[in-house]
Amino acid sequence: MRSTTTTLLAAGLGVALLAGCTSADAEPAASGAAEEQTITVYTSEPQEKIDEIVAAFEAANPGITVEVFRAGTGDLTARIAAEQQSGEVQADVLLAADAATFEGYAADDLLLELDTADVDALDPAVVDPESFYVGTRIIPTVIAYNTSLVEEPPTSWEQLTEAEYANQIVMPNPDVSGAAAYNAAVWLDEPQLGDAWLEALAANEPVIADSNGPVSQAVATGTQPIGIVVDYLVRDLAAAGSPVAVSYPEEGVPFVSQPAGIFASTDAPEASQAFVDFLVSVEGQELAVEQAYLPVRGDVGTPEGAPSMDEIAILAPELDTILATQDEAVSRFNALFQ
Partner 1 sequence: MPSSSDVIDAGPAARRARVAAPGALRVGRVRDLLRGTVPVRVVAWVAVAALVGVPLVAVLSLAIASGQIGILASEDVAVAAWHSAVSSVLGAAGAVVLGGALAIVLERTDVPGRAALRLLACSPLLMPPFVGAIAWIGVAGPMSPVNRWWTETFGGPLWSIYGGDGVVFLLVVHGYPVAMLIVGAALRRLPADLEQAARIAGASTLRAFAAVVVPLLRPALLSSATLLAVSNLADFGIPSIVGLPERFTTLSTLVYRYLQSATVDDPLGAVATIGSVLLAVALAGLVADALIGRRRVELDAGASAPARTPLGAWRLPIAAGSWIVVAALTVLPIVALATQSLVPAAGVPLTWETVTLDNLVRAVTSEHALAGMRTSIMLAVLAAVVCTVLGLVVGALVTRTRSRDNRALHAAAIVPQAIPGLVIAVAWLVIAPRIGLFDTPWIILVAYVTAFLGLVVQAVHAPLSATSTTAEEAARVAGASPLRALVDVSWRMATPAAIAGGVLVLLTAARELTLSALLLSPGAQTLGVAIFNLQQAGDYNAASALSLVVALVGLAGLGLAARTPQERS
DSSP-assigned letters across all residues of 85-128: HHSS---SEEE-S-HHHHHHHHHTT-BPPP--TTGGGB-GGGB-
Q: Which is nearer to partner 1, 97 or 253 (CB)?
A: 97
Residues near 69 by Cβ (< 8 Å), separated by ≥ 6?
Answer: 40, 41, 42, 43, 76, 79, 91
Query: Minimum distance from CB of 270 to partner 1 (Å)?
Result: 20
DSSP, residue by residue, 13-40: HHHHHHHHHHHHHHSPPPP--SSSEEEE
**Residue whose CB is less far from partner 1, 122 or 246:** 246
Residues paired with residue 65 on neighbouring β-strands, in sequence order: 38
- CB of residue 151 to partner 1, shortest distance in Å: 16
| Closest CB 18 distance from partner 1, rounded Å | 9
Q: Are 255 and 316 in contact (CB under 8 A)?
A: yes
Q: How far is the CB of 60 from partner 1 (least distance, A)?
A: 20
* 81 CB-contact burial (10 Å; exposed 0-12 / middle 13-18 / buried 19+): exposed
Rank residues 101 and 273 by Cβ distance to partner 1 and give the closer one: 101
Q: Please, what is the minimum distance in Å from the beta carbon of residue 116 to partner 1?
A: 23
Task: Write the Ramachandran bin of 191: left for phi over 0, alpha for psi from -120 to 50, otherwise beta.
Answer: alpha
Cβ 117 to partner 1, closest distance in Å? 25
DSSP annotation string for 204-261: T--EEESSHHHHHHHHHHTSSSEEEEEHHHHHHHHHHT-SEEEE--TT-EEEE--EEE
Shortest distance in whole angstroms from residue 278 CB to partner 1 = 18
Looking at beta carbons only, is 216 or 247 nearer to partner 1? Answer: 216
Specify the residue, 71 or 309, whose C-beta has the smaller distance to partner 1. Answer: 71
By beta-carbon proximity to partner 1, the closer residue of 121 and 323 is 323
Judged by beta carbon, residue 272 or residue 281, the one nearer partner 1 is 272
